[in-house]
């Protein structure tokens, strides 16, 4: 019986291997298709595979550098481009609290939001890299020849939902670590004492997650623009070849 089972397993294994390795009829491999691009009158030959790998390398570098910058102390808090402000839906609450002299407490709460984003950014790099590795770039040349942030826009459009799902638990952990709620609770209590107000209870985890991802995208776009425009930022032969063709 064991011999029969072993033989059957061998047959199945060989069959599956053949299915995986057999040529796919009607689906030609276009990864090595060569396209010529003119660069100041000079023709540069690039394969689809080179373009895709170049774009992934650029985004990988951009996400790694951006996560590193954002995760530093004050990476969000003192960068006006990505600073996370008071939630818009609670602006009436903020205005009333300012009038009763709670400006310092408001600023402490806003700082805690940004500290949570900085803490979450420590682990953001791995989330972005996974998204970049798994995405299929079939319109590589369109991205390459697009705007200075075309690859970042592609990343945002095609991976935002997946990134959010992966990022949310990281932010929840960060929100708890920096004790955002402890800064929010006394402000909410003070506001609720005003007559006739609607109690405010924004989902801070969702708010910080969206703001943190958007902030990181801003930094990634800056890194992409740098690679496209500054030859010194192209630190590998592949990046030089792909982005030097523009």
pLDDT, greater one: 126 or 95: 95
**Structural tokens at position 107:** 């600023």
Report pLDDT for 157: 86
Percent of all residues in the chain with a pLDDT value above 70, rounded to a whole number: 80
pTM of the model: 0.80
Percent of the chain past pLDDT 90, that is, above it, reads 56
Q: Quick: pLDDT tens for 65-93.
A: 999 999 999 999 999 999 999 999 999 99
Q: What is the pLDDT of residue 145?
A: 85
208-246 pLDDT per residue, tens: 999 999 999 999 999 999 999 999 999 999 999 888 865
CB 125 within 8 A of CB 64: yes
71: DSSP letter: T
Dihedral in degrees, nearest 10, Cα atoms 175, 176, 182, 185 = 70
- Report whether 35 contacts 52 (CB < 8 A): no
Higher pLDDT among residues 102 and 125, named by residue: 102
Residue with the bigger pLDDT between 111 and 44: it is 111
* pLDDT tens column, 17-43: 333 344 443 434 445 666 665 544 566
């Amino acid at each position: 019986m064991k011999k029969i089972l072993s033989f059957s397993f061998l047959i199945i294994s060989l069959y599956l291997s053949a299915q995986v390795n057999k040529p796919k009829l009607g689906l030609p491999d276009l990864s090595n298709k060569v396209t010529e691009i003119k660069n100041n009158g000079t023709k540069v030959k690039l394969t689809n595979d080179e373009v895709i790998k170049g774009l992934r390398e650029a985004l990988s570098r951009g996400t790694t550098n951006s996560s590193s910058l954002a995760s530093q102390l004050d990476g969000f808090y003192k960068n006006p481009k990505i600073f996370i402000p008071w939630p818009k839906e609670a602006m009436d609450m903020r205005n009333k609290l300012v009038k009763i002299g709670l400006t310092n407490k408001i600023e402490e709460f806003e700082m805690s939001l940004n500290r949570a984003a900085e803490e979450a950014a420590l682990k953001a790099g791995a989330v972005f890299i996974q998204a970049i590795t798994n995405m299929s770039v079939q319109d590589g040349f369109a991205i390459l020849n697009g705007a200075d942030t075309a690859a970042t826009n592609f990343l945002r459009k095609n991976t935002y939902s997946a990134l959010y799902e992966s990022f949310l638990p990281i932010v929840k952990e960060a929100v708890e670590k920096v004790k955002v709620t402890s800064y929010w609770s006394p402000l909410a209590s003070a506001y609720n004492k005003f007559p006739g107000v609607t109690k405010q209870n924004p989902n801070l985890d969702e708010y910080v997650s969206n703001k943190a991802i958007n902030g990181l995208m801003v930094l990634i776009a800056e890194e992409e623009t740098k690679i496209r425009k500054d030859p010194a930022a192209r630190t590998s032969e592949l990046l030089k070849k792909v982005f030097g063709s523009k």
